[in-house]
Structure 1
């Protein structure tokens, strides 16, 4: 029976995210292509799961993802599969304050079974602005 590239890509992304949450950047790196690139909220660019783990270690005391959905679509011309994983971040800010309703969406591009690119979007910056009294409008 042939592989289903959409199902395989969704499984790869969820496994990558699970390893990233441990955090196990070396394990997560087994799912990325050699030319992998990651673009975080704010346009921060990273080239490995270890880079994002180091960034998250400074921003959060700890953080995990509660998956709501993982959707995917294949580009028949390129063979790339785009995977969209959305849900909520939960954890603690560096001062120990808990959070649990921080929305996120991660967008992945996979080719030949490996993650080539991911874009990471979440509400963390807006929440931090609000906590600092700098938000332009209430959350």
Structure 2
């Protein structure tokens, strides 16, 4: 990795740490303007508080168990994937774990400009029998 991709990876790690706190104001320190998050179901937000508000309605609480980061340095930007599992509680207090997720970040000049978020939550909500705890 390059010094730039190391810096960009640290921005993603700091953003995720703040997002999972949840502290969207702190997370905003690591994003550029403009900023776009395409969340599950193609919901679009332009600030970190959008996903935080969405998660507050979907989960009682949720955290990420990050398994790895894949870093793809480019000439103008760094693409970073955060891959792992979500765990937490549904609104009714039922615990869940092993909910796969992938987050894709586009980072330029040490700031996140774009994020895509995918996970199994929608499928698990539709058919709770497939969820593992």
With the shorter chain as reference, the TM-score category is over 0.9
What number of residue pairs does the alignment pair up? 130
Kindly report the root-mean-square deviation, in angstroms, between the aligned alpha carbons of the 2 structures: 1.3
CA distance in structure 1 between the partners assigned to 2:40 and 2:26 by the alignment: 23
Structure possessing the higher radius of gyration over alpha carbons: 1
- C-alpha displacement of 1:41: 1.3
Runs of 5+ unmatched residues, structure 1: none
The question of whether the paired residues in 1 share the 8 Å contact of 2:8 and 2:109 is answered with no
The question of whether the paired residues in 2 share the 8 Å contact of 1:88 and 1:103 is answered with yes
The question of whether the paired residues in 1 share the 8 Å contact of 2:83 and 2:102 is answered with yes
Look up the match of 1:6. Answer: 5
- C-alpha displacement of 1:68: 0.2
Deviations 1:34-75 (A, max 9, x none): 100000111100111111100000000000000000111112
CA distance in structure 1 between the partners assigned to 2:64 and 2:14 by the alignment: 12
Look up the match of 1:73. Answer: 72
Partner SS for 2:92? coil
Q: TM-score, normalised by structure 1?
A: 0.90
Runs of 5+ unmatched residues, structure 2: none
* Equivalent residue runs for 1:40-119 within 5 Å: 40-76=39-75, 79-119=76-116
Partner SS for 1:20? helix
Segments of 4+ moved more than 6 angstroms: none
